[in-house]
Structure 1
């Protein structure tokens, strides 16, 4: 049951947030899945294509816009690396 706590907390937090769309939810769910697959590393480090594959998103502009939105809205902290050979850091917010 511990594995579902981040998702349940996220859904409670976005309940009345009209800025969040299905793409944001898909990316957040993919991030939680990636976090679990990588032994709950905090911060997690990931390439955008790894998360995009899990979230079933093919456009990198959509991914980057939604991740920046989630960062700006306070649902996670995103530290992009801006380097092709270095993963970006992502901190999930605990609700």
Structure 2
């Protein structure tokens, strides 16, 4: 029997795959973010670096990364909280646009 967390995770992935606005680069970035969240043992707030996300999502150019990263923010998948301090990483809050639409 599947746990509630794994059911919610599968539902989230199904919703991402069904979203016609997303292409392979969006999905690659989202998977990299979720992978970082898993590694950090976090559910919502993830510490990130652009270099690591680009590497994990196999995006080679900064303009491509910024384009799709910004679109994920516009589509309501993530909330980016920049850190301007060199000693602290920026964070991303994972949002679920599908649950917000149903409320």
TM-score under structure 1 normalisation?
A: 0.78
- Total equivalences in the alignment: 94
Larger Rg: 2
Cα RMSD (Å) of the superposition?
2.4
Could you tell me how far apart the structure 1 residues matched to 2:29 and 2:84 are?
Answer: 19
Find runs of 4+ consecutive structure 1 residues off by over 4 angstroms. Answer: 82-85
Could you tell me how far apart the structure 2 residues matched to 1:76 and 1:7 are?
Answer: 18
TM-score under structure 2 normalisation?
A: 0.73
In the alignment, what sits opposite 1:23?
25
- Specify which of 66, 76, 79 is matched with residue 78 of structure 2: 76
Unaligned runs of 5+ in 1: none
In the alignment, what sits opposite 2:12?
9
Unaligned runs of 5+ in 2: none
Higher relative contact order (CA 8 A, sep 6+): 1
